[in-house]
Amino acid sequence: MAGANQTCIFCQILNDPNSTTRLLHTDEKVVAFQDIKPAARRHYLVIPKEHIPTVRDLQRRDEDYSLVSHMLSVGQELLQKDAPQTIHRFGFHQPPFNSVDHLHLHCFALPFMPRWKVVKYMSLGPFGGFIEAQKLLEKIRPLPSKV
């Protein structure tokens, strides 16, 4: 796997044929699985197969925008299938609040369980915290080329 990190738990899940993690989705770009410590009725993670440490490693370029858009689309499809009658929320932790240095989209079917978990998934403005997927897409949307 290009860019795999031997110490990264998510890279290990991707590369270990004996992994016990049940994949909910897999394609050429991403995989999805249930969070080991769910914070909501449904709590899935969508991760790129390529090791990208954090949202700070994403730039305003087509490939990064396309990847995050695809991650969001996969998360939306999973929750629409598994929890269609609930409110859905999608986003990323920003350093230093991320627990694993491998880009991962949190996909929630609310409510948070227990309710205090909402604090872990709040934006802290200029201090980082949690960034909604749509807001990240706005930040990395490629600028129109000047003709």
User: What residues are annotated to the active site?
Assistant: 106
* Distance separating alpha carbons of residues 3 and 5, to the nearest angstrom: 6
Q: Cα–Cα distance between 147 and 139 in angstroms, integer?
A: 22
Structure tokens at 76: 């939306």
Helix axes 62-82, 133-140, angle to 10 degrees: 160
